[in-house]
Structure 1
Amino acid sequence: MSSNTLTNSTVAVVAHAAGDLRVEQIAVAEPAADEARIAIAFGGICGSDLHYWSHGAAGESILKAPMILGHEIVGTVIQAAADGTGPQAGTNVAVHPATPGETGEAYPSERPNLSPGCTYLGSAARYPHTEGAFAREVNLPARMLRALPAGLSLEDAALAEPAAVAWHAVSRAGEIKGKRALVIGAGPIGALAIAVLKRGGAAEIIAVDMHEKPLEIARELGATATLRADDTEAIAKVAADVVIEASGNYRGLASAVRGAVRGGRVVMVGLLPTGEQPALISLAITRELELVGSFRFNDEIDQVLAALADGSLQISAAVTHQFPVDQALQAFETAKDSASSGKVLLDFRSE
C-alpha cells in the first residue's frame, strides 16, 4: 500500500478481546472537514495497549468491542483538513491524542488534562470506544497535529507523546535544577523522566528498577546511579529532594516515600490499579512529604518537540526494538517483557 495515495481500507492493529490481537484490513472513511488524513510512520506500544491485549481492559476501561489500539504516533499529512485548519499535505507531524470534554464537573480550566469528559485515542473508557491510530492511514482532527520542527525526523520524534507525559510529571516536581532526584521504575516513562530531569539540571538522578536492562537504559539517559528495587535499605538512604514514582506499584510508592528527604515531593505518575492501595501515609505525614499526582499532559508535547529538535533532550536510548506492523504480536510480546525491553516501536511504513 502506498503511503502517499488515499485508499478505502488500510492495515490496523486491533484488540478484539483478552489475548486476541489481530493485524487486519479495516475500512477508512472519508475525513470530516476538520480532519486530516495521516500516513502513520511509527507507533510506540504503551502500557495501556499491553493491558487491552493481555487483559481486555486497562484499569476500569473494559473492551466491549474490537478497538484499534495506539496513541503514541507520528506520521505525514497526506490530505489536509478541508476546512483549512492544521498542517498542509506533506507535513511531518506528531499527535496530541487527547480531546478534552465537559461533563459538568469542575476542574481547573488551565489544566484540560483533568477534564472529566476527556477522551484519548485508543481508549475503551467510553462506549463506543475511541479508536486508536495503529494503522497505516488514519483520519485525525487537525487540532491534534503538531508539525515537526525543521530537521527533526519522524523516527526521532516517535517518543514525543510519552516524553510529554514524563515532561509533565517532572514539571509537577517543581524546581529540579541542582536537586537530587530519585526515579522509581525505569520503564519507558521512568526512563524518559530521567532524560527530562537531566535536561532540567538535576544534580543527581538515582534510578530504581527490578531488572538490569531498564537500569542500563537509565544510565544511558542520564542516571548518575542505579539501585535494585529490592535494596530497600539503600533506597531509604537516598533522601531525594524530588521523587518520580513511575512503577505503578504500591511497593514502588512505598520506596518513593522512604527515599524522599523530609519535606520532599513525590510525583505519582505510575498508575496504580483501581481501588484501595496500601501506602506509608504515616511516614508521609511525619516527614511532611508532598504527594502529587501527574496525569497525561497538556501542551508539553510542544516543548518536547522543540527540545528534541535543538538537541537538549536526548531520548533515543529509550527505544530498544522496532518491528514492522505485520509482526505486531511479536512486538507486543517483546514490549510485555520489561526485563529485556524498553520502548518498542511499530513501523507502519509500507514496504
Structure 2
Amino acid sequence: MSRENLGVLAHAKEDLRIETLPEPTPVSDEAVIEIAYGGICGSDLHYWTHGAAGESILIDPLVLGHEVVGTVLHAAADGSGPAAGTPVAVHPNTPHAVDGIRYPEDRPNLAPASTYLGSAARHPHTDGAFARRVALPARMLRPLPAGLSLRDAALVEPASVAWHAVSRAGEVAGKSVLVIGTGPIGALVVAVLKRAGAAHITAVDLHEKPREIARELGADATLDATDTEAIAAVQADIVIESSGNWRGLASAVRGATRGGRVVMVGLLPSGEQPALISLAIVRELELVGSFRFNDEIDEVIAALADGSLRIDPVITHEFPVEDAAEAFAVALDSSTSGKVLLVF
C-alpha cells in the first residue's frame, strides 16, 4: 500500500498512541475496508482519559473506534457482502447469547455477551476500526446510496443510537419533548425528533455551543442546565436524558409532565446513582432505558440519503489521523466542539 496503515490505540490511562499496524488479513467472511472517516465517541475518550469505559477496563492495547465509514477495498472471499468499490457504513455490534440468560430475540442489542468494535468489555478485547485499513465481517457492512457522502455517513452510527432512543419514546408527533444534554447524541436526538414531527423541542446543556447546535437542528427553545427551575417548568410529554449524569436524570424527572415518559440514553457510571424515584412514582412517570440500536441503522441511512434527516451542524471539527492526539483533546472539550471526525 502507498500509505502506512496508521491506527489509533489506547494503551492505558492517558496513553493514546498513533501506530503503524500490520495490513489486515481477512478470513473468508470478512472484507477489507479503506476507512475514510471515524467519529470520536465518548467511550473512546473514556478509554483515553480513564483507561476504562464504565466497567470495561483496558487490559491490553486497544484499537479504538466504532463510528466509521469507508470503501470496500477487497470483498469477502466467500461472496457475502458488498463488492469492492462500494462505500459502506458499519454496524459495530455482534450479538452473542448466553445459556440461561433471557432477552427478546427481536432486540439483539440486549444479547448479554455481545461484542462491539473498539470495546474492552471482554477479554481478549474487540479491536475497533480507527485505522486506514481494517478487516470487518461482511454482515456489519451497510452499502451507502448514491449521493450520500462518506462525511455525512460518518454520523450513521451515533444517529442510529439517537433514532433508537426516540423509538423508545413511542409516538412523538405532536408532543412536547425535553432533551437533557445536547452533545453529539443529544443533538442527533433533536434532529430525529424534528423529523418525527415533535410539536415543541426544548434542549438543555451546560454550554452555549451545544445549545447553538441544537437550535440549528430544530430545537424551539434552549435552557442552561443550571436553570433547574426553568427546566422543571417545561413539563414535557417526553424527556430524553442524554447527558449521562445523575443531575441530568434529576432534571429529566422534574421536567416531565405527570404521566410522561423519560427515556434514558445517557449511560450513567456503574453502581448506585442518586435518583428522584419518589417524584417519578407520584407522577406515574415511565422510566425507559435505551441501549445502542438494532436495524435502525438502515432507516437512518435512508433518511440521510433522502435529506429528511439533517445532521450536518453536529460535525464541528476534522483532523487527519496523524493529529489524533489533538483531535481527542478537542473532542474532550464539549464547550467548543460537537462531533470530531478523524480523516484517514
Cα deviation 1:74-114 (Å, max 9, x = unaligned): 00000000000000000000000000001121100000000
Partner of 2:81: 86
Partner of 1:283: 279
* 1:205-220 to 2 correspondences below 5 Å: 205-220=201-216
Tell me the amino acid that sits aligned with residue 275 of structure 1: G
Query: CA–CA distance in 2 between the matches of 1:98 and 1:67?
Result: 17
Tell me the amino acid that sits aligned with residue 200 of structure 2: E
SS at match of 2:142: strand
Partner of 1:56: 51
| Deviation of 1:156 (Å) | 1.2
Query: CA–CA distance in 1 between the matches of 2:136 and 2:65?
Result: 13
Partner of 1:308: 304
- 4+ residue segments displaced more than 6 Å: none
Unmatched tracts of structure 1, length 5 or more = 4-8
Partner of 1:146: 142
Partner of 1:245: 241
Query: CA–CA distance in 1 between the matches of 2:6 and 2:132?
Result: 6
Query: CA–CA distance in 2 between the matches of 1:156 and 1:210?
Result: 26
Query: CA–CA distance in 2 between the matches of 1:57 and 1:128?
Result: 15
Q: Quick one: percent identity of the two aligned structures?
A: 73
Partner of 2:326: 330
| Deviation of 1:251 (Å) | 0.2
Residue 65 of structure 2 is aligned with which of 54, 67, 70? 70
**Residue 177 (structure 2) pairs with residue 170 (structure 1):** no
- Output the aligned Cα RMSD: 0.8
**Residue 41 (structure 2) pairs with residue 41 (structure 1):** no
Query: CA–CA distance in 2 between the matches of 1:173 and 1:2?
Result: 48
**Residue 248 (structure 2) pairs with residue 262 (structure 1):** no
| Deviation of 1:27 (Å) | 1.1
Cα deviation 1:121-156 (Å, max 9, x = unaligned): 000000110000000000000000000012111011
Tell me the amino acid that sits aligned with residue 32 of structure 2: R
Unmatched tracts of structure 2, length 5 or more = none
Partner of 2:117: 121
Query: CA–CA distance in 1 between the matches of 2:312 and 2:112?
Result: 33
Query: CA–CA distance in 2 between the matches of 1:280 and 1:341?
Result: 31
Tell me the amino acid that sits aligned with residue 88 of structure 2: V
Query: CA–CA distance in 2 between the matches of 1:216 and 1:83?
Result: 48
Query: CA–CA distance in 1 between the matches of 2:123 and 2:312?
Result: 36
Query: CA–CA distance in 2 between the matches of 1:294 and 1:189?
Result: 12
Tell me the amino acid that sits aligned with residue 300 of structure 2: V
Tell me the amino acid that sits aligned with residue 84 of structure 2: A
Partner of 2:290: 294
Query: CA–CA distance in 2 between the matches of 1:30 and 1:220?
Result: 43
Residue 197 of structure 2 is aligned with which of 195, 198, 201? 201
| Deviation of 1:287 (Å) | 0.3
Tell me the amino acid that sits aligned with residue 109 of structure 1: E
2:24–2:133 CA contact under 8 A, matched in 1: no
| Deviation of 1:28 (Å) | 2.5
Query: CA–CA distance in 2 between the matches of 1:63 and 1:44?
Result: 20
Aligned length: 343
Residue 20 of structure 2 is aligned with which of 19, 25, 35? 25
SS at match of 1:155: helix
Cα deviation 1:243-263 (Å, max 9, x = unaligned): 000000000000000000100
TM-score (norm 1): 0.97
Query: CA–CA distance in 2 between the matches of 1:30 and 1:20?
Result: 27
SS at match of 1:301: helix
Query: CA–CA distance in 1 between the matches of 2:108 and 2:299?
Result: 17
Cα deviation 1:167-201 (Å, max 9, x = unaligned): 00000000000100000000000000000000000
Tell me the amino acid that sits aligned with residue 263 of structure 2: V
TM-score (norm 2): 0.99
**Residue 225 (structure 2) pairs with residue 192 (structure 1):** no
Cα deviation 1:275-298 (Å, max 9, x = unaligned): 000000000000000000000000
SS at match of 1:40: strand
Query: CA–CA distance in 2 between the matches of 1:134 and 1:156?
Result: 17
Cα deviation 1:289-334 (Å, max 9, x = unaligned): 0000000000101000000000000001000000000000000000
| Deviation of 1:2 (Å) | 3.9
